[in-house]
Amino acid sequence: MLSFAGSLKVFVALDPIDMRAGMNTLQALVAERLQEDVRRGALFVFTNKSRRLIKVLYWDGTGLWMMVKRHAPQCAYWFVFENPLSISSALREGL
């Protein structure tokens, strides 16, 4: 079971990605686009062009998790941000 601390940071990649990307590609994108180390223990969120799929990377201290979620058509939404940022725990609950 995964549990996250209240102080957990969430980084959202603004540009959509090809959802065929696996862990290694996403880890490289974290370093390139977000300029972060995936092993810092934050959540790293990616989406596709239609914004219906999201992938999340998380390092739990023992290995790398990759979580995938597909929103139902009536629930498809995405957040609009102007700049890369980390988001609050209230917004994190919406993921």
For 80-90, the pLDDT digits (tens) are 555 555 555 44
Q: What is the pTM of this model?
A: 0.74
For 41-78, the pLDDT digits (tens) are 899 999 988 888 899 999 988 999 999 998 877 775 66
Spatial distance between the Cα atoms of 45 and 33, rounded to a whole number of angstroms? 12
Token pair for 78:
């995405």
As a dihedral over the C-alpha atoms of residue 32, residue 38, residue 40, residue 42, rounded to 10 degrees, the angle is: 100
Adjacency order of strands within the sheet including 10-12: 10-12, 43-47, 53-59, 64-70
- In contact, 23 and 44? CB cutoff 8 Å: no
